[in-house]
Amino acid sequence: MRLPTFVSLFLLVISQTVLSSPCVSFDSSFNLLAFGLDGKDWNAGTQESWANGTAADITANGRPPFDGVNTTCYLAQFFNAVYVLNGNSSDSSAVHIYDAAGKSWSRQSVITGSFDATNFAAILDHDTNVFYALSQGSLFYLNMGSMTSANSTAISWIDADKSPYPSSYTSPVMALAQNHIHFLDVPGVPAGSADIFVIHYNYFQPASQPYPVAGGGTIPATQGKTASFFQAEGVQQEFAFIPEDGSATYVINVETNTTEAYTGPSTKDAAATYAASITALVQLDSKGNVMFFPYTEGDVSVNTAATWTKVAAIAAVAPATSSSASSSTTGTAGETQTIISGGGGPTTTGSASGHSSGSLAVRMSGPLAAAGLVGVLACVL
């Protein structure tokens, strides 16, 4: 790195550094949705159209800027809505709601109370449409009711219960299946076992549940990401766990209490995030590449032969950044948002199911913005 100029140092000090966080999710027909990629939102259609074709631009008014850290997106399957947490770095408490049928956005006001909206892991319970989040040692919930758009009444995070987990469990790895929240990588729990919270009984199951890998082996006790496979009807019964080293794709079945180990994603990226449909697991890596693993519930031999494939329909319209630093500038009058992605930017550390990407964005407002871009590039080049 060249010596930064005085001007660039000055501008870096006054600029606010945030991380750009796109996310992937689905609508209830399992069209693949990618939000905040190259500053826009995309619908790649259903799975047969991912390998070719072109994603449709669904960028609409009222969307969050997807400039937050740890932005996460959740499909409310019964309501054909996607809920976005931390979609706006300046408004971390809000839930942004994408009504997939109406292709419209709204912003739900949320009262956080003692909930730390900047540091948590969460799942959206399938049957009740309630978020459960572990934050600062407590389990909180937020009832989304049947919302496909925000209503004028604020909703509140409620502190449900102190968790029984050690205070060192600061980056929870949470997964949902069969209305049970699974906590992986809990300190003191043997590798291959999960601790469980039973949603309908508000109950932390005292004993850990082992999920042995078929044919031998153990899910490693490590950080990683999760995604629950939906069902055509009813609640999820399986979830994927991708350890942060990307060495395998574990699929945990909570009916049989067993695990299958399949090939890991081609891109090993601790900061990648994941979403699952009924028949696919999708990876969004920190450079903005979207890949998928076709998945057939109950067919181990087909899944064993399956390979990770690029979602070309998204790459065609929102190409990932190259390995060297690159920048793009978006924004409206009075505000310039410079996004520097790729190898040149710092990456966030792998964090539970908290989703984050490694793209560095620097936001500046007003007349200094253009000068700021020059200053930032001076540091990066």
Ligand X SMILES: *[C@@H]1O[C@H](CO)[C@@H](O)[C@H](O)[C@H]1NC(C)=O
Least Å distance, CB 232 to ligand X, is 21
E strands, 203-287, are: 203-204, 209-210, 224-229, 238-243, 248-253, 258-263, 273-276, 280-284
272, 225 in Cβ contact below 8 A? yes
Shortest Cβ 78–ligand X spacing (Å):
13
**Residue whose beta carbon is closest to ligand X:** 145
Complex with ligand X: residue 8 or 47, whichever CB lies closer: 47
Shortest distance in whole angstroms from residue 164 CB to ligand X: 15
Site residues, ligand X (CB under 6 A): 48, 51-52, 64-65, 69-70, 88, 90-91, 118-119, 143, 145, 147, 151-153, 155, 171, 196, 209, 256-257, 351-352, 354
| Half-sphere exposure at residue 217, Cβ-oriented, CA atoms within 13 angstroms | 12
Which of residues 124 and 147 has its CB atom nearest to ligand X in the complex? 147
107, HSE (Cβ side, Cα atoms, 13 Å): 14
Which structure tokens are listed for 324? 């060297």
- 287/363 with CB nearer ligand X: 363
CB nearer to ligand X: pick between 39 and 246: 39
Report d(CA 210, CA 196) in Å as an integer. Answer: 11
Asked if 337 contacts 330 with a C-beta cutoff of 8 angstroms, the reply is yes
Report the DSSP beta bridge partners of residue 273: 284
- Least CB distance to ligand X at residue 150 (A): 8
Phi and psi at 352, nearest 5°, equal: 45, -145
Q: Quick one: 281 or 378, whose CB is closer to ligand X?
A: 281
Q: How far is the CB of 112 from ligand X (least distance, A)?
A: 13
